[in-house]
Amino acid sequence: MSSNNKKVKVLVVDDSAFMRKILADILSSNETVEVIGMAKNGVEAIRLIQLLKPDVVTMDIEMPILNGIDALKEIMKTNPVPVIMLSSLTSDGAEATLTCLDIGAVDFVQKPSSVFRINIDDLKEELVNKINIASKVDLTFKNKKQFVKDNRLELIQNSNKTSTQNRKNKHYFIVIGTSTGGPRALQHVLPLMPKDIPASILIVQHMPPGFTKSLAERLNSMSNITVKEAEDDEKILPGYAYIAPGNYHLGIKTKSNSDTFIKLSQEEPVSGHRPSVDALFKSVANNIDENIIAVIMTGMGADGSNGVKELKDNTDCYVIAQDEDTSVVYGMPKSAVNMGVVDDIVPLHEITNYILKKLGV
């Protein structure tokens, strides 16, 4: 972790000499970052991490000798350091990126598909921002992983059972917002939901197009409920979790028979985000009056806090925020807590328990 008055020391890892130079030039032009070394494969990366002790590593996934996935496994085991992956925008690239996030990478940046498609200014802004955030991440949260997994075992077994005990005859909407650290955190929430849960779940995870579909498929394979990427105008059903597609705001709409349906839009980004947690929460507040549970999880920034305030002010809504200790980045939850709209601050491994208790399940 770097202090406020020191530059963030970065190691750049990429098998392409051209990309190494582009990334080094981009980062060196920013006064908050210092490139202290470059590596062309995973083996070199592991050696230079030990030697140079960078604050943050940027690493390509596809490399010869030792690829980014295998290198990341070794780094997290021997010399944990915040890593940002560079990912290609393909279905295989998206799946590999999610694997890296599960192993312990803090975040990822889309790798330009060719030299002709590099938008230097956009890449610089995103990469520098994510590097500065990653440099402040306390990787000791990785040590909690086994505890969280152990806690899941009994809950997963219980989630296979019919959960009619103490059930109230109500249909709930559970709305979840998350960003940095979210893909992995969601794995400790959705798989614990019983398949007959009396609720529909709507999720905004800040991710670009293509990646949200892979995320939904991965979570669906782990869960008893159905997890899918949301489609415009589809009927919202209990026992389903709908993830906002990248580059689309997720909302809901009601029809004359009181059924609710997905509403996707490409209206302007909200606070720089599309999909936006605020947009989802405000849409729910405008269409539903009661039986709402809102969950703000790990993520940078403040997306969701304005929306959850609107839910609190205008509906009967119970609000959970993930606690600081189990958040990769305690930005979004902290912002909601500071607004005074959170009912319970909860560690990651307890979030589903709190939800199910509220549902009477």
Catalytic site positions: 179, 206, 303
Instruction: State the Cα–Cα distance between residues 34 and 10, nearest whole angstrom.
Output: 6
Instruction: State the Cα–Cα distance between residues 147 and 310, nearest whole angstrom.
Output: 35
Using a CB cutoff of 8 Å and minimum separation of 24, what contacts does 136-145 make? 136/1, 136/2, 136/329, 137/1, 137/82, 137/106, 137/328, 137/329, 138/1, 139/80, 139/81, 139/82, 139/104, 141/325, 141/326, 141/327, 141/328, 142/76, 142/80, 142/104, 144/325, 144/326
CB 228 within 8 A of CB 216: yes
Helix axis angle, 277-287 to 305-314, nearest 10°: 10
Q: For tokens 């940095």, name the residue.
A: 180
CB 293 within 8 A of CB 281: no
Return the CA Rg of the chain: 21
Instruction: State the Cα–Cα distance between residues 159 and 163, nearest whole angstrom.
Output: 8
Instruction: State the Cα–Cα distance between residues 33 and 264, nearest whole angstrom.
Output: 38
Strands 56-60 and 249-254: unpaired
Burial (0-12, 13-18, 19+ Cβ within 10 Å), 71: buried
Residue 56 φ then ψ, to 5°: -145, 145
Residue 89 φ then ψ, to 5°: -90, 70
CB 308 within 8 A of CB 319: yes
H-type helices in 53-166, by residue range? 68-78, 91-103, 120-134, 145-159
H or E segment and range at residue 171: none
Instruction: State the Cα–Cα distance between residues 198 and 113, nearest whole angstrom.
Output: 43
